[in-house]
Amino acid sequence: MTTVNVKTKSGLQTVASARDLEWYADEPLEDGGTNTGPTAMEALAGALGSCMIITTELYARRKEWPLEAMEVHIELERFNGADYPGYTGESQYVHQVREKVVLIGDQLTDDQRARLMEITTKCPVRRVLTTPTFFVSIEEPLKEA
């Protein structure tokens, strides 16, 4: 289980904590924040990209494949559901995630590259975003992270 606690720091700035780590989220100055950290959506995109890289790197290490490094570029955008091409559901909004993955390693074969690209789609954060997720309110206080 992953546990993170998030608290108001100042204005729109928040501080999140897990284990013995702390990090901030904030909004840009033009949106009323102090611009001291990524927005929550930027943090989400960063978590997704980081998870894709970590999952793929661990797989490549286990297989002893010559993956030297990776880059992931993520763009998140919200659309009105009624205006999104091909969407026939009831949601007011839909979200589109655009991604570009770059595998760095001249010694990788085409088959290894194809498998590593497939592995990027199997990271735990992506699975949270693409499979049914349920939000449950809890009565007891959260454990300190």
- Domain extents in the chain: 1-37, 39-138
Question: In angstroms, rounded to a whole number, what is the distance separating the alpha carbons of residues 40 and 111?
Answer: 36
Mean pLDDT of 132-137: 92
State the pLDDT confidence band at 139, using cuts at 50, 70 and 90.
Answer: confident
For residue range 68-120, what is the model confidence (pLDDT) as tens digits? Answer: 999 999 999 999 999 999 999 999 999 999 999 999 999 999 999 999 999 99
State the pLDDT confidence band at 138, using cuts at 50, 70 and 90.
Answer: confident
**Confidence at residue 142, expressed as pLDDT on a 0 to 100 scale:** 61
Question: In angstroms, rounded to a whole number, what is the distance separating the alpha carbons of residues 46 and 52?
Answer: 10
Query: Angle at CA 128, nearest 5°, toward 48 and 103?
Result: 35
CA 84 to chain centroid: 22
pTM of the predicted structure, to 2 decimals: 0.89
Question: In angstroms, rounded to a whole number, what is the distance separating the alpha carbons of residues 136 and 120?
Answer: 28
Q: Coil, helix or strand for 7? A: strand
Nearest CA to 16 among 6, 26, 3?
Answer: 6
Pick the CATH number of 39-138 from 3.30.300.20, 3.90.700.10, 3.10.129.10, 3.40.1110.10: 3.30.300.20
Question: In angstroms, rounded to a whole number, what is the distance separating the alpha carbons of residues 19 and 13?
Answer: 20
